[in-house]
Amino acid sequence: MSRRRDRPPRGDQPGPEQPAKTKLPAEHYVLRTAGIVIVALTAGAFWLSYAHLAEVAAQHGLRDSPTRRWAWPATLDAFIVAGELLMLRAGLRRVTDKWAIGVTAI
């Protein structure tokens, strides 16, 4: 009976002590840049959305209630944030989450 010995990993193959290289440096740069752009666009979009919704609330009877004028657009934008976070989680898990899609659509 012969025993097969496990060979130690070569320098170009990942092993237990040498993790696999999954992304190239250029890919990391592109992903980081895309992440920064997405965060900036999202922040700008929420700012514009919130400002517009606050104006709409003021024009439709909430001018005298600063708390409600603030809370109405904040609530709507919070639904969008919650839905997008759930969609991100589903994407990272590589599953389709109907709940996340529903919250985002509503």
Asked, for residue 37, whether it belongs to a domain, the answer is yes
Structural domain that includes position 59: 25-105
Q: What is the pTM of this model?
A: 0.52
Which of 11-35 are b and which e, b meaning 16 or more Cβ less than 10 Å from the residue's Cβ? eeeeeeeeeeeeeeeeeeeeeeeee
Domain-located, residue 97: yes
Note whether residue 14 is domain-resident: no
| Total of domains in the chain | 1
Per residue in 19-78, pLDDT (tens digit) is 556 667 888 899 889 989 988 998 898 889 888 888 888 888 888 888 888 888 888 888
Nearest to 69 by CA among 46, 43, 50: 50
- Tens of pLDDT, residue by residue over 21-35, are 666 788 889 988 998
Q: In whole angstroms, what is the distance from residue 98 CA to residue 106 CA?
A: 12
